[in-house]
Amino acid sequence: MNLQIFLNEYLTHPSIGLTLKASLFALCMQLLIGLPIGLFISGKKSVMKNIIEIIVTLPMIFPPMALGFFLLLIFGKNGFIGSYLYNMFHFKVIFSFWGVLIATFIVGLPFMVKSVQAARQQMDDSLVEVAATLGKTRFITLMKVILPNIRNGIISGVLLSFGRSIGEVGITLMLGGNIVGRTETLSLAIYNAVYDGEFQRAAIFSIIISVIAIVVLISLNLINKKT
C-alpha cells in the first residue's frame, strides 16, 4: 500500500472527520455542563445532589445498548422529546449527526463530572475561606482561586471524556443508526469492515483510533506527574 492510497482511503475517510467533529463538539458541551455539575455535587451532600450524581454517572455502569434503547424511546419520533422537536421544528435527532452528538456527549460527561468533583474535594477549603475573609465575591473566588487549583482535574476530565467519546459504539449505533457516510463513526467503521470481511481496513482503522487513545493516555500521565 503506497502513501497516496493510505491517505485517500483511510486518513480522509468520512468516519474520522465525523468522529472528531462529534467528539470535539461534545467535549465543549461536557466542559460547559460537566464543570458546574462537578463543582455543585462536590459540596455538602444533599438528596438533590445525590440524585444528580447518580443520573450523571449512570452511563459509566449502565449497559450502552440498553441506555441507547431508552434514549431512542426518548428522542425517537414517538418519544416525548423527539416528537416535540419533530412536530414543532421538523428537527430529527435519530439517525442524524445530532444523534451521534448526543450519544458522544452522554458517554463522556460522567468522566468530566467525576474528575472535577474529585479535584474540588481534594482542594484545601481554607483558600476559599481566606478569599471570603478578604471580601472577594463568589465569582472572583471561583475564577481566581477554585478553577486555578483544580485545573489539573479539569484537564484530566477533558482528556478522559474525549478518550471515551471517540470509542463509543453502543449508544451511537442506537441513536445514529450506523449510516455509511452520514453517521458512521470510526468505531462503527471498524465494526462494518469486520462484518464485510475487510480485515485490513479494520486493522488500519483500529490502529488509527488506538494512536488517538494512546496520545490521550500519555497526555493524562504527563498531567498526573505534574500534580
Place of cell 444523534: 99
How far, in Å, CA of 50 to CA of 166, rounded?
28
pLDDT score at 98: 94
User: Positive or negative, the Cα torsion across 110, 112, 114, 115?
Assistant: positive
Does residue 157 carry a pLDDT above 70?
Answer: yes
How sure is the predictor about 131, in pLDDT bands with cuts at 50, 70 and 90?
confident
**60-96 tens-digit pLDDT:** 888 888 999 999 999 988 888 989 888 888 888 999 9
CATH assignment of 3-226, among 1.10.3720.10, 1.10.645.10, 2.30.140.10, 3.40.50.300: 1.10.3720.10
**Residues 106, 34 contacting (CB under 8 angstroms):** no
**120: helix, strand or coil:** helix
Average pLDDT, the chain: 88
Which spans in 78-169 are helix H?
82-89, 97-122, 126-133, 138-141, 147-149, 151-166
Does residue 180 carry a pLDDT above 70?
Answer: yes
